[in-house]
Structure 1
Amino acid sequence: MDMNCDTLQAQLAMLLRDQPRGVTADLTDFAVAYWDGDQVAGVYLRDNGHLDEAFELDGTGFQHWHDEIAAWLANPCYTARPELLERRKERPPFEARV
């Protein structure tokens, strides 16, 4: 299945929007994606599986992660991460971040 980045981004966003808050798409064993209320966002995982540094899943990010996202779409795997909910509580709402 050969998909362009726009298609991957749209499919991943559609699937993540339907998930409860705090659920991630486990793209690899070291990177996950989640719906931040406005767009798909990425986060690296530390060795012990805890959330680490965020990364952009914009057009360039989707090009970089194309193969991983395409593989994930073929066999989606999600994880509920309470840590993500806590992290998001610390951030202001999207409108305030503008």
Structure 2
Amino acid sequence: MSHLGILVAAEFYADFVLVNGGDDYISKVYDYAIAMVGTYSLTSFGINKAREDISGPAYATLEWEGTTLENLFTTTFRLRLYVGNDGYYSLANY
């Protein structure tokens, strides 16, 4: 799964299972890539919630601190995969 922003792009791979009528789950995340104008430092990458339940979907997150060219600002970037309700989607904050 991947997401492209104006000055940032990120992706990672995930193995997950959609269980028809049951709890979908994420079994593995791997091979992330981050590209941005500036520098970055990885802060977290992994499965946050492996299995969907009544409280919500399973999800995994790629998160990093990024600094723009000339150190104008530093911020936290996040790409998240959600798996639940026999489907999946991603959200990014960039």
Which has the larger helix fraction?
Answer: 1
TM-score scaled by structure 2? 0.25
